[in-house]
Structure 1
Amino acid sequence: MNVDEIVAIDVHTHAEISRDGHSSLSPALLEASAKYFKAAHRQPTIAETAALYRERRMAAVIFTVDAEHATGHPRISNEEVAASCAEHADVLIPFASVDPWKGRAALREARKLVEEHGVRGFKFHPSLQDFSPNDRMAYPLYEVIEELGVPALFHSGQTGIGAGVPGGGGIRLKHSNPMLVDDVAVDFPHLKIVLAHPSFPWQDEALAVATHKPFVHIDLSGWSPKYFPPNLVRYANTLLQDKVLFGSDHPVITPDRWLADFAKLDISDEVRPKILKHNAARLLGLVKEDA
């Protein structure tokens, strides 16, 4: 990947369908997500996602979510995601998802995915995976990820998954409060953490954690920028200008729509390229820390 030739790095895109047509979500949860985002989006293959970003001279982090313990729905293989990204290494950066409920098997898998398959980070969705980020059950997995030196990205705030389904499909929103990740940042002080999304209804909590803990970042995925809370825009433009990251949540929000709305935000010319590219390049190890 030639970082100099890339105009932006999207740190939050989803692999929603496998090569054999297996979906990352059950039909009920997929339908609820489509209603929440007011559009039944098509599920692109990883190769199609690569083509979209290549045409736009952008790179993208891509991952699925392993929530087999809570949902009973088989995941898309992390190895498949990594292999597909390797075929499109000019634009795609593989993250993995390992269900923390899998215990020692999760630790072995995480290490193997980084050391043998080139995975560059891990995605957690506490509400979908039904665990609190500060549950000691997950701590051995964080320890491995911290040792490997790659980021851990946590969904935060409300989720469209399960919205409108009776009981929310069993999904508990409380698990995605950023203050639970604050405990993780304390107990794993060198773990690189990303709080995904504007964290409604806990936006101020996310800002507090990111300003207080040096290795906690925020990605801006899942919302059109025109709906960003004013406080988030203010912090992104000032105190957190080196820790805020472009993310779309593709395919539910396309990078084209996100970037068009982001262009209308009151963000300074100095900060804009940091959010779109430079902060992510540094976090992902694509450039030296002092670059």
Structure 2
Amino acid sequence: MLIFDMHTHCFPDALAPKALPRLAEISQCPYYSDGTYGDLREKEFAAGCAGLMILHIATKPTQMTSVNNFAAACQKDGAYCFGSVFPTAENAVDELHRIHALGLKGVKLHPDYQEFFVNDPRVFPVYEAAAELGLPITFHAGRDPYSPDVVHCTPKMLAEIADRFPTLTIIGAHMGGMEMDADVEKYVIGKPNIYLDTAFATRSLSPARCGELIRRHGVDKVFFATDFPWSTVVTERTLLEQTGLTGEELALIYHGNAERVFNIALSE
């Protein structure tokens, strides 16, 4: 079956040897790559992926240009990319227009590393502009080891943004809220403009619970994802294979939804 991994990460070659160990220390999580673009491609395609999405994050306003230039350079031969903006930067909306012009597939925001709450009105112009440009936004949703005591994107906040910006395509990473599945069920499930990705679902969900949330939300609104290099295709696929979802349902999650939403065509 075709596999598209919706949620992966890599770094420029010069940065990877420093960035990955630092992030691993913060997260207390093993990693399965050297963090470079080349190793990401090699391992993902060796694991059976027909394509992948690389999500990039600008953790400072001054990083936006270089991060998005790197994303544009990575987008080739089955690899697609989300760019990023620092949402409280004065030129964030201008950079969204450049992301669109570069042909990137969307925008990744990580509220913990970027130090903002997703329902902060200061960042609403970014959501409005992204909606107008047709750029989906993937949010890191739920808990994160970088900010263990403060959740900057709760499922409730994500639902508030979905209601306020109904034409914005929202992707709630980590099944809509890492380690917050009860709130995902209460606030997120059924929101028409929210998609979920399965990145690192094995960290906090059993197969039965994962399958329950997917079916309730709708199999046409879920993307297969790993969060590589923090998890792997084999690990996250094993979880999905144990949910009881049918082959037809899994095909939508593994590749069909991504092909439809991002207008891409995958092949073996």
TM-score interval w.r.t. the shorter chain? 0.7 to 0.9
Q: Which residue of 2 aligns with 1:9?
A: 4
Q: Which residue of 1 aligns with 2:142?
A: 157
For 1:276, which of 251, 254, 261 is the aligned residue? 254
1:43 aligns with 2:28: no
Deviation at 1:23, TM superposition (A): 6.3
Q: Which residue of 2 aligns with 1:114?
A: 100
Q: Structure 2: which amino acid aligns with 1:64? A: H
**Structure 1 segment 88-167 matched on structure 2, within 5 A:** 89-103=76-90, 105-115=91-101, 117-160=102-145, 162=146
1:188 aligns with 2:165: yes
Deviation at 1:174, TM superposition (A): 2.1
Q: Deviations over 1:136-188 (max 9, x none)?
A: 1111111111111121011111113x3xxxxx5xx653212011111211121
1:79 aligns with 2:69: yes
Q: Which residue of 2 aligns with 1:165?
A: none
Is the 2:189–2:213 Cα contact (8 Å) retained in structure 1? no
Distance 2:49 2:165 in 1: 35
Is the 1:237–1:268 Cα contact (8 Å) retained in structure 2? no
Distance 2:232 2:207 in 1: 20
Is the 1:155–1:197 Cα contact (8 Å) retained in structure 2? yes
Deviation at 1:52, TM superposition (A): 2.8
Is the 1:191–1:215 Cα contact (8 Å) retained in structure 2? yes
Q: Structure 2: which amino acid aligns with 1:10? A: D
Is the 2:56–2:83 Cα contact (8 Å) retained in structure 1? yes
1:267 aligns with 2:267: no
1:59 aligns with 2:38: no
Distance 2:189 2:231 in 1: 27
Distance 1:203 1:260 in 2: 20
Q: Structure 1: which amino acid aligns with 2:95? A: E
Cα distance change of structure 1 residues 29 and 75 upon mapping to structure 2, 3 Å threshold: farther
- Give the secondary structure class of the aligned counterpart of 1:270: helix
Distance 2:208 2:195 in 1: 18
1:174 aligns with 2:151: yes
Deviation at 1:226, TM superposition (A): 8.6
- Give the secondary structure class of the aligned counterpart of 1:100: coil
Structure 1: gaps of 5 or more residues: 1-5, 163-167
% of aligned pairs identical?
Answer: 24
Distance 1:270 1:225 in 2: 25
Is the 2:71–2:104 Cα contact (8 Å) retained in structure 1? no
Cα distance change of structure 1 residues 9 and 208 upon mapping to structure 2, 3 Å threshold: farther
Q: TM-score, normalised by structure 2?
A: 0.86
Structure 2: gaps of 5 or more residues: none
Distance 1:194 1:274 in 2: 16
Is the 1:111–1:148 Cα contact (8 Å) retained in structure 2? yes
